[in-house]
Amino acid sequence: MTNADSRAAGGRFRALYVMAHPDDEDAATLVWLARVVGVDVTVYSLTRGELGDNAIGTEMAEALGALRMGEMDAAARAYGVARVWFGGCFDYGYSKRLEEAWVRWGRSRVVGELALALRAAQPDVVFSRFRGDARDGHAHHQAVGAALRDALELAADASALSEADGGPVLARPHVFVHTERDAPGALRLALGGVRTADGRAVLDVAREGYVHHRSQVTERLLDPADDGVRAYAALHGTANAGEAYTDFFSGLTPRAEVVPPVLPEVEAIHRDSFTAATYGSVPVRVAFRGVPRPAGWQTDAGIAAPPGDGARLQVGSPRDVTVILGTGDCFPAALRALGHRVTTVEPDAFRADTLGSSAVVLGGVRCFRRAADRARLAAELRAACERGAHVVLATQTPEFDPSVHAPVPGTFADPPPEVCEEDASVRLLEPDHPLVKHPNRLDAADFDGWAEQRGSKFWSSWEAAYVPLVAMADTAEPEQRGAWLTTPVGAGRFTYCALALHRQLPFGVGGAYRILANLVA
């Protein structure tokens, strides 16, 4: 499709871009549609990303959803997108099984919400970020891709969804899905040399917009080697599937006006005016309304604790704990709540020679990602172990290489294993190990009531010196033993714990506090 053809379509068509989470979008496609072609673009995200990762803060659940909504809105403004809509599905965290998404949300609900969005948007062209099958990976991606087909049928069927309930029936839009660049019959966009109306490169504008997703790991879609080639195929099972297209808009009837003129109406109500006023003090009499209380009477106010779950835990003697700050860490507050004396330090400021001989060091979530000099941090952690400290390293992203940075080597697979089902069964492999029995003897009940996941970024292999403490698995997947490993190092000890404690502690999960108490005892 040439730029001339694109601009001829501008201002006369509407597009709906469908995805699962804020940051799923292909930014370059949206910039091309909105700022090159001039299409009126609406983005629909099934969730707000409430239980996704947070690389910059401690917000979780609804708070993270609100943060990511703001990030998506800012990105959309940069792309030129007219509006962003969010569905009503709560992001329950990473999921591998489509069946889990349907159990959590209900397929009919997802289809119904999408159908209402289609009716409201009345798009000429629909772009789906996901295909609706296992190639999409994340079950949320599969769900929104699979539901779109049914939603298109529902939105076009007045007998199944009346106009009174869902708005005007949807005409048959062209529907395209993101696909591989070499897929047969795909429409390819070569955006590498394309510029917007104001002369900026599409890929530059896309990057400038996408970096607003600060809470997410944006590097994965900001490849400087991106050549700008995108490919889309007509979505299988829809009205236009199987047709041959030279562009996205061929055969569509242009709208007379996509955006109604509002400037004349604004000008009509504009007035140049001012208000004259004399400023001064005015006495005001305030009436207090209440129940008179006779002199000498005492008023009692009862305060009742709200219902909740409690947990019994032993914390041991207060310890001096140094926390190397990661991202979104809740460890300092949790450790202080347990009565420990906590010092926090930035990754590049940590020094082993400032520690006592029996110190505890806790490396926070993604602390290696924050370190400018990872080799130096690894050397300091090794030195701390050798001096007698217990170094506990929480979940790390692949900036941490166990074969290089761990005091005793291990490996990450690509991608590292994880257990995303928060209710997956857990076996304690060494019930009499000190980390498992002191000061709290852990058992299966300590893994009840967990949120979002068991853990992620597990090791795939490790030296024989390590002792694996737990085993777990997602449904129909092999058992994983690399979530919690420990080994002696010099006069001290090194422990890698990729259990999702940082997901549980903010919710007050008792078992997570008991595990944390054992880690630093």
- Give the pairing type, strands 410-411 and 390-393: unpaired
Instruction: Check: CB of residue 140 under 8 Å from CB of residue 104.
Output: no
Quote the CA–CA distance of 34 and 41 in Å, as a whole number.
Answer: 6
The string of pLDDT tens digits covering residues 382-401 is 999 999 999 999 999 999 99
Q: For residues 391 and 385, is the Cβ–Cβ distance under 8 A?
A: yes
What pLDDT is recorded for position 225? 77
Q: Is 72 helix (H, G, I), strand (E, B) or coil?
A: helix
Q: Which of 172, 148, 152 is nearest to 161 (CA)?
A: 152
Q: What is the pLDDT of residue 250?
A: 83
Write out the two tokens for 199: 């002369």
Return averaged pLDDT per consecutive 10 residues of the chain, 521 residues in all: 45 92 97 96 97 88 95 97 97 94 97 97 96 94 97 94 88 93 90 94 95 79 79 73 70 67 57 59 78 72 69 86 92 96 97 88 96 98 97 96 98 95 97 98 97 96 98 96 98 98 94 98 92
CA distance 320 to 393: 16
Contact by Cβ (8 Å): 373, 460: no
Rounded Cα–Cα distance for residues 359 and 381 (Å): 12
Question: Cβ(352)–Cβ(407) under 8 Å?
Answer: no
Which amino acid, residue 187?
L
> pLDDT of 236-288, one tens digit each?
555 555 565 568 988 888 876 555 555 555 566 666 555 555 567 778 887 77
At residue 6, the pLDDT reads 47
Token pair listed for 505 = 């502690």
Name the percent of the chain lying above pLDDT 90. 73
With contact defined as beta carbons under 8 Å apart, do 483 and 470 qualify?
Answer: yes
Q: Are 340 and 518 in contact (CB under 8 A)?
A: no
- Position 159, amino acid: S
C-alpha angle 438-519-455 in degrees, rounded to nearest 5: 120
pLDDT value for 236? 57
Token pair for residue 359? 């110190």
- CA-nearest of 97, 177, 88 to 139 is 97
Q: What is each CA distance from 349 to 313, 346, 406, in whole angstroms?
A: 33, 5, 18
Whole-number pLDDT of residue 268: 62
**Nearest residue to 432 (alpha-carbon basis) of 423, 442, 419, 424:** 442
Residue 426 bridge partners (DSSP): 472
Structure tokens at 438: 């002191």
R_g over Cα of the chain: 28
* Number of C-beta neighbours around residue 29 at 10 A: 23
Burial class (CB in 10 A: 0-12, 13-18, 19+), 279: exposed
User: Looking up tokens 């001039």, which residue turns up?
Assistant: 38
Q: What confidence score (pLDDT) does residue 305 get?
A: 66
pLDDT given for residue 358 in this prediction: 72
Buried b / exposed e over 284-297, threshold 16 CB at 10 Å, is eeeeeeeeeeeeee
pLDDT of residue 342: 96
Domains of the chain, each with CATH number or no CATH: 3-255 (3.40.50.10320), 320-520 (3.40.50.880)
Please report the pLDDT score of residue 266 as a whole number: 56
For the record, the structure tokens of 99 come out as 């069946």
Non-local CB neighbours of 340 within 8 Å, separated by 6+ positions: 315, 318, 319, 320, 321, 520
Q: How far apart, in whole angstroms, are the C-alpha atoms of residue 245 and residue 423?
A: 47
